[in-house]
A and B are shown apart, each in its own frame.
Chain A
Amino acid sequence: MRKVAIVGAGITKFVRRAQETGKELSFEAARMALDSCGLTLKDVDAVTHGTAPDAFDGVHMKGEYLSDGSGGWRKPYMRNFVGGGTGVFSPIHGFFHVASGLADVCLVVCEEKMSSCHPHPQGAFKTIFDHTLEQPLNPTLIWIFALEMNRYMNRYGLTKKDIALVSVKNKKNALDHPAAQIPEDITVEDVLKSETLAWPVNRLDISPASDGAAAIVLTSEERAKRITDKPVWISGVGWNIDTAYWATKDLYYPRYVEKAARQAYEMAGIKEPHKEIQVAEPYDPFSYKELHHMEGLLLCKKGEAARLTADGVTQRTGNLPTCPSGGALGVGNPIAATGLMKVIEIFLQLRGEAGKRQIPGNPKVGVAQAWGDLMQVGTVVVLRSA
């Protein structure tokens, strides 16, 4: 298999309501990514775009609409989509292009403009449920995550306080991220006192709705060596989907994330992820999700993630820095762009270019993960700098 490197990256600022159109956001991120490695569109062989539901932007065939803004003009251009897992899947789709030999340079762009959805993008989630079995119950996304969080807490005897620590950590980490939307220095009490939306989920347990875009440039080994001294290699990819009938499974553990992680680790030759992975960006749209996903990623034993968080292991200075970027909770959550932001964070950390966010110890191996659909999809990318 041909080796595939990340050689450049760009992220727009994540905001609640961007003045720019989705096309313009895509353009900005793509431009930043190309500029960062000194390439132009002429060098790009193919473009893949990741963006979550059309209902956010309010455009049918959103990938087509965003194509020219993303640099896909008169090029092989395709959109990839696995719901909320799209952001980490996009580099995987880009990986196919380069690893197969069909492209030497592939531009990967992710965009989300959730503010177009009125009055609130949560409305777009009303139609993700089964039309016959579930929509008549009028569920919202927050309700089903309240079910899942409750189940997770119940299974391991965790409290809301244990989980609130994730929000506190990530929002604080985000203070150092230039693209961050809601970085804050808050306490556990602030989280617990914030409005209850659907017990046990409070407002500060949830990432915000956001507009934003991110992009990376993938190249073959030969091209990477001509472009940069510090290529970061995509050494493992994994993705997995569980049944659509989510009510038929036990929500305490994301087995689909484990499956995706095992696929990626096997490819990357990682046997003991909890020892070998030096920095992780699990998807954290809700505070408990970070813990859930750490376990799915096999970074700790089942039910152990909350204790590691309380012990400070997941802080930037800890043994397993987790969401050093600030994650979806702090940087913001323009769905597909968030996943790619996480991949970019690992890229920067492995290059030693994360600025104030840089974790100590010169890390060489990291993992980014996203999750999506109806508590159903896991997408995992393992990166290595050497």
Chain B
Amino acid sequence: MKRVAIIGAGSTTYRIKSPDVSYREMIFDAATKAYRDAGVTHKDIQSFVTCAEDLNEGYSIADEYTPDQLGAVLKPMQTVPGDFIQGLATAYMMVTAGLFKIVVVEAHSKFSNLKTPNEIQAFALDPVYNRPLNFNPHFVAGLEMNRYLHDSGNNASQCAAVVVKNRKNALKNPLAAYGADLNLKDVESSEEVSWPLRRHDISGKADGCIVMVIADEDTAKNLSKKPVWIKGIGWCSDTPGLETREWGRAVYAELAAKKAYQMAGINNPAKEIDVIEVDDEYSYKELEHLEALGFCKKGEAGKMVNELPSNISGGSLGMGHLLEASGAARTYEIVTQLRGDAGKRQLKKANAGLAQSWRGVPTTTGAVVILGN
């Protein structure tokens, strides 16, 4: 199979509110940075992918407003209503199939525009069986956290340690919105939202945009001194049904990782991967995902919170939750680390990295990408 690389990446900073820019201006900003980073202009780019969901965008057909600010007018462009890593997979397939040499993937969040985000999220529940129960999404997360902790043997205090770690990490990340020096007590005494889930276990919302330029092997070698290769990619959905899903473990992450590892030829992820960015929309998710991805055995992630090189960027807890761009922020950190551009938080050894995403309540959809130098 042909090799495909990320040759350019651009990101805005992530902010709790951004009243001075529209989402289209944010996209323009990130795209300009990514194109410059890759040494291309919009004219060189052959196809575009945006990752967005209508109801988060506030349009019935959000796809309409995707082309102009990316320079994609009268070009092959599509929307993947999914996470950034799914969009990246689509771009990867197009390049691998030989349809294009240079493709751009974009994802953004204008979370601050959502007046009633919980109600919108609840609107994703099955309209016949679940919606009449009037769930708040954090309630579903609380149920899941409880079951996961019960099954795995991890505890809420270890989840709080994830919050402390990620928000502290974010202090070293100039893009992050939620850097803070908290201690366990701060987290464990925060308001109970849906037991055992507390306020600080939930990532805060953020606005931001990330754009990446990907290319086939020849183009990547011509244009880029530091191409970051896509070694493996996988995505998977379990079931959205609350009645039929697996509550105690992240099957979607296990299966997506299996595909990605297979493609990348990775047998022992803990040894072969130097830097890990996993979804941590809720604190317990980081532990659940690390176990699903095979970095430790089930029930061991809680003990290893400060040992694994996980979410050095600060994760969603430290950088802010970016809707469909959350996976993009994870991937962006891996690209930054692998290129050695991570400044104060740069790892000494960063040759292979993994980014993982989850699409949030009520989905059981996630994706995994493995990048290498």
Q: Which residues of A contact B (CB under 8 A)?
A: 1-2, 21, 52-55, 57-65, 67-68, 72-84, 89, 93, 95-97, 99-102, 116, 124-128, 130-131, 237-245, 255-256, 259-260, 263, 372-374, 376-377
Whether the pair B255, A74 counts as a contact (CB closer than 8 A) is: yes
Whether the pair A64, B1 counts as a contact (CB closer than 8 A) is: no
Nearest chain B CB to A249 CB, angstrom units: 10
Whether the pair A68, B78 counts as a contact (CB closer than 8 A) is: no
Given A131-B59, A241-B74, 5 additional A-B pairs, CB 8 A? A59-B124, A64-B237, A64-B359, A67-B237, A373-B63
Nearest chain B CB to A330 CB, angstrom units: 25
Smallest Cβ-Cβ distance to B94: which chain A residue:
A96
Nearest chain B CB to A259 CB, angstrom units: 6
**Which listed residue (B60, B74, B96, B239) contacts A100, Cβ 8 A?**
B96
Select the stretch in B82-90, B160-168, B219-227, B297-305 that faces chain A: B82-90
Q: Which residues of B contact A (CB under 8 A)?
A: 1, 53-55, 58-61, 63-68, 72-82, 86, 89-90, 92-94, 96-99, 120-121, 123-124, 126-128, 234-241, 244, 251-252, 255-256, 259, 359, 362-363, 365
Nearest chain B CB to A353 CB, angstrom units: 28
Q: Give the 9 A-B CB pairs with smallest separation, nearest first.
A: A99-B97, A96-B93, A100-B93, A60-B124, A100-B96, A60-B123, A77-B237, A373-B64, A53-B60
Whether the pair B92, A100 counts as a contact (CB closer than 8 A) is: yes
Prevailing SS type, chain A contact patch: mixed
**Which listed residue (B53, B90, B96, B97) contacts A60, Cβ 8 A?**
B53
Please name 26 pairs of A and B residues whose Cβ atoms are closer than 8 Å in the assembled complex, sorted by A: A53-B61, A54-B54, A55-B55, A60-B120, A60-B123, A61-B53, A61-B55, A63-B81, A64-B124, A67-B365, A68-B237, A74-B236, A75-B236, A81-B78, A83-B61, A83-B63, A83-B64, A96-B93, A100-B96, A101-B96, A116-B127, A240-B77, A241-B72, A244-B66, A373-B63, A373-B64
Smallest Cβ-Cβ distance to A123: which chain B residue:
B60
Whether the pair A2, B97 counts as a contact (CB closer than 8 A) is: yes
Q: How far is the CA of A179 from the CA of B121 in the complex (A)?
A: 35
Smallest Cβ-Cβ distance to B55: which chain A residue:
A60
Whether the pair A65, B240 counts as a contact (CB closer than 8 A) is: yes
Whether the pair B238, A74 counts as a contact (CB closer than 8 A) is: yes
Nearest chain A CB to B75 CB, angstrom units: 7
A78 in contact with B89 given A59-B127, A61-B363, A125-B60 (CB within 8 Å): yes
A82 in contact with B63 given A67-B240, A74-B236, A77-B236 (CB within 8 Å): yes
Q: How far is the CA of A237 from the CA of B99 in the complex (A)?
A: 10
Nearest chain B CB to A22 CB, angstrom units: 9
A243 partner residues in chain B, CB cutoff 8 A: 67-68, 73-74
Smallest Cβ-Cβ distance to A239: which chain B residue:
B76
B256 partner residues in chain A, CB cutoff 8 A: 76
Q: How far is the CA of A83 from the CA of B61 in the complex (A)?
A: 6
Nearest chain B CB to A168 CB, angstrom units: 30
Nearest chain B CB to A170 CB, angstrom units: 25
**Which listed residue (A55, A68, A73) contacts B60, Cβ 8 A?**
A55
Smallest Cβ-Cβ distance to B78: which chain A residue:
A82
**Which listed residue (A1, A54, A241, A374) contacts B98, Cβ 8 A?**
A1
Q: How far is the CA of A232 from the CA of B163 in the complex (A)?
A: 54
A131 partner residues in chain B, CB cutoff 8 A: 58-59
A95 partner residues in chain B, CB cutoff 8 A: 97
Whether the pair B54, A55 counts as a contact (CB closer than 8 A) is: yes
Q: How far is the CA of A240 from the CA of B99 in the complex (A)?
A: 14
Whether the pair A68, B97 counts as a contact (CB closer than 8 A) is: no
Best-surrounded residue of A127, A239, A241, A245 (most CB of chain B within 10 A): A241
A65 partner residues in chain B, CB cutoff 8 A: 124, 126, 240
Number of A-B contacts (CB under 8 A): 188
A242 in contact with B82 given A76-B234, A127-B59, A128-B64 (CB within 8 Å): no
B58 partner residues in chain A, CB cutoff 8 A: 127, 131
Q: How far is the CA of A61 from the CA of B57 in the complex (A)?
A: 12
Nearest chain B CB to A179 CB, angstrom units: 25
Whether the pair B239, A73 counts as a contact (CB closer than 8 A) is: yes
Nearest chain A CB to B130 CB, angstrom units: 10
Nearest chain B CB to A230 CB, angstrom units: 24
B76 partner residues in chain A, CB cutoff 8 A: 238-241, 260, 263
B72 partner residues in chain A, CB cutoff 8 A: 241
**Which listed residue (B65, B80, B252) contacts A80, Cβ 8 A?**
B80
Best-surrounded residue of A58, A95, A240 (most CB of chain B within 10 A): A240
A21 partner residues in chain B, CB cutoff 8 A: 128
Whether the pair A81, B238 counts as a contact (CB closer than 8 A) is: no
Best-surrounded residue of A64, A82, A373 (most CB of chain B within 10 A): A64
Nearest chain B CB to A226 CB, angstrom units: 22
B55 partner residues in chain A, CB cutoff 8 A: 54-55, 60-61
Nearest chain A CB to B326 CB, angstrom units: 14
Q: How far is the CA of A124 from the CA of B75 in the complex (A)?
A: 27
Whether the pair A376, B64 counts as a contact (CB closer than 8 A) is: yes
Q: How far is the CA of A84 from the CA of B123 in the complex (A)?
A: 23
Smallest Cβ-Cβ distance to A245: which chain B residue:
B68
Nearest chain A CB to B127 CB, angstrom units: 6
**Which listed residue (A75, A80, A81, A263) contacts B237, Cβ 8 A?**
A75
B251 partner residues in chain A, CB cutoff 8 A: 74
Whether the pair A81, B239 counts as a contact (CB closer than 8 A) is: no
Nearest chain B CB to A75 CB, angstrom units: 7
A241 partner residues in chain B, CB cutoff 8 A: 63, 66-67, 72-77
Whether the pair A97, B93 counts as a contact (CB closer than 8 A) is: yes
Smallest Cβ-Cβ distance to B252: which chain A residue:
A74
B96 partner residues in chain A, CB cutoff 8 A: 100-102
Q: How far is the CA of A101 from the CA of B94 in the complex (A)?
A: 11
A127 partner residues in chain B, CB cutoff 8 A: 58-60
B128 partner residues in chain A, CB cutoff 8 A: 21
**Which listed residue (A55, A62, A76, A377) contacts B235, Cβ 8 A?**
A76
B65 partner residues in chain A, CB cutoff 8 A: 130, 244
A63 partner residues in chain B, CB cutoff 8 A: 81-82
Q: How far is the CA of A171 from the CA of B124 in the complex (A)?
A: 36
Whether the pair B239, A67 counts as a contact (CB closer than 8 A) is: yes
B363 partner residues in chain A, CB cutoff 8 A: 61, 64
Whether the pair B97, A96 counts as a contact (CB closer than 8 A) is: yes
A373 partner residues in chain B, CB cutoff 8 A: 61, 63-64
A55 partner residues in chain B, CB cutoff 8 A: 54-55, 60
Nearest chain A CB to B310 CB, angstrom units: 24
Nearest chain B CB to A172 CB, angstrom units: 31
Whether the pair B54, A53 counts as a contact (CB closer than 8 A) is: yes
Q: How far is the CA of A79 from the CA of B94 in the complex (A)?
A: 16
Q: How far is the CA of A68 from the CA of B251 in the complex (A)?
A: 14
A376 partner residues in chain B, CB cutoff 8 A: 64
Best-surrounded residue of A100, A238, A243, A260 (most CB of chain B within 10 A): A100
**Which listed residue (A57, A60, A96, A101) contacts B1, Cβ 8 A?**
A101
Smallest Cβ-Cβ distance to B24: which chain A residue:
A244
